[in-house]
């Protein structure tokens, strides 16, 4: 799995999202900024994102995925 696939999958689920990735091969970290996370705690934000990659994680195609999910207000102004 590559970064482009991860970004595309997240953007399908969160069309307004700004997505940044770091990593390679089968270990990635992602930062997702979306209004959809408003009113949710960190676990409520991470679970649906992780569910998008359940098959890849279970098969080992994606070994590690770290998720940071924020609202635009929490992220602050874009540069």
Are β-strands 27-33 and 64-70 bridged in parallel, bridged antiparallel, or unpaired? parallel
The tens place of each residue's pLDDT in the chain, 79 residues long, gives 889 999 999 999 999 999 999 998 889 999 999 999 999 999 999 999 999 999 999 998 899 999 999 999 998 876 4
77-to-14, 16, 72 alpha-carbon distances in Å: 19, 16, 8
Question: Chain-centre distance of CA 30, in angstroms?
Answer: 5
Residue spans of the domains in the chain: they are 3-74
CATH match for 3-74 among 3.30.342.10, 2.40.100.20, 3.40.50.300, 3.30.300.90: 3.30.300.90
The residue behind tokens 């949710």 is 40
pTM for the whole structure: 0.89
């Amino acid at each position: 799995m590559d970064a482009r696939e991860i970004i595309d999958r997240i953007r399908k689920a969160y069309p307004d999202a700004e997505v940044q990735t770091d990593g390679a091969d089968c270990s990635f970290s992602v930062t997702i900024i979306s209004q959809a996370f408003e009113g949710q705690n960190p676990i409520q934000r991470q679970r649906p994102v992780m569910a998008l990659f359940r098959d890849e994680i279970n098969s080992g195609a994606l070994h590690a995925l770290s998720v940071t999910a924020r609202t635009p207000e929490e992220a602050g102004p874009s540069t």
